[in-house]
Copies of this chain bind each other. A is one copy, B any other.
């Protein structure tokens, strides 16, 4: 695998080219030779199956991919031959010939965030039924990596691509458009979508939560934000909070906004402590994320602060633990699994030729009021 090109040690698989040169015109002999070769290479090919079944290669191909176009009789012959030979189709060759890969690529900022894995599972559950597979990529919130992944996935000729978030580079957009790849953007409602969208308005959700904070009688809000990454997902939630607070005439002090050091419970707890140290009169803390909010609540427990009495906390996402904690977490529910399902359905519809699909799907959100606020 290194630089030596003329090693005498044969590679694991070498092409049967020595023989091929000689048998250029010798069809009758070549037939037998070929069979031996195919066995040597370790893969039964569609033609081998065809020969055993006594039909043409195309009939085997059809029997596998469009059974209804093949007579029941031949179908059975093929099925038997496949069993006999242990044939395993080569989907790479099939993809090349048909320009359809039956692969959908998913690019997420991170794999370990529950909402993203919920979404991925939702997609999987829908797409798996039609024998599509998922090719995964994670950007760690880096635009550069997203661009690179998009290029790679185009190279792999994926049939569809699911992108998280609304901001993508110009060059990526152009390449996607040039390459006939179905794209679904998710987790947001971009103003200028590439193609289809399945998401919700993070701004609206955050604004609504903030307005409710006012309606519930809180007077002195604080905000805990996730680390500001290159994308602006978090920013949109912050903007929503600020806008909502304004709507209900709540003043947000500058020092009452704290950016957590990391997207972890620990960091959320630390942020809360910092916030309250700076201004003990804060009575509600809006978090851009459930992880941070849970961390904040757990920090309250450890510090003996009751919630919502001492300080109320709200989250964003409604992760599993939100309703198990005491106090349970008031938060915004965005249904990741269902979003994934919807993505899968739209993707399938489009790939199966249904162009008349709705392009924008707003999955909405839901404010879940529990004990913490």
Contacts and interface: CB of A to CB of B under 8 A. Distances in A.
Nearest to A301: B326
Contacts of A91: 152, 155-157
B95 A92 contact: yes
Contacts of A353: 1
Chain B CB within 10 Å, residue with most, of A90, A133, A155: A133
A265 interface: yes
A166 to B, nearest CB: 23
20 contacts: A1-B352, A42-B178, A42-B180, A88-B155, A89-B155, A90-B155, A90-B157, A92-B92, A92-B157, A111-B117, A112-B121, A114-B114, A120-B136, A124-B136, A134-B137, A136-B136, A264-B320, A291-B320, A298-B321, A298-B325
Interface string A85-122: 01011111101100101010000001110100110110
A269 B323 CA distance: 12
Nearest to A94: B155
Given A91-B156, A118-B112, A103 B135 contact: yes
A263 B180 CA distance: 41
Nearest to A140: B125
Contacts of A103: 135
A83 interface: no
A331 B28 CA distance: 69
Contacts of A8: none
B131 A133 contact: no
A25 interface: no
Contacts of A111: 117, 120-121, 124
Given A135-B133, A136-B134, A298-B326, A321 B88 contact: no
Contact of A3 (B69, B117, B131, B299): B69
B114 A133 contact: no
A266 interface: yes
A12 interface: yes
Interface in A325-364: 325-326, 352-353
Interface in A141-167: 151-152, 154-157
B324 A295 contact: yes
A230 interface: no
A354 B157 CA distance: 30
Contacts of A110: 121
A249 to B, nearest CB: 35
Nearest to A326: B301
Given A136-B136, A301-B326, 17 more contacts: A1-B352, A1-B353, A90-B96, A90-B157, A91-B152, A91-B155, A91-B156, A91-B157, A92-B95, A92-B157, A111-B120, A114-B114, A124-B137, A134-B135, A134-B136, A265-B321, A298-B321
A179 interface: yes
A254 interface: no
A82 to B, nearest CB: 12
Contacts of A29: none
Interface string A281-320: 0000000000100110011011000000000000000001
A69 B4 CA distance: 10
A301 B321 CA distance: 13
B269 A298 contact: no
Contacts of A326: 298, 301-302
Contacts of A96: 90, 92-93, 96
A151 B92 contact: no
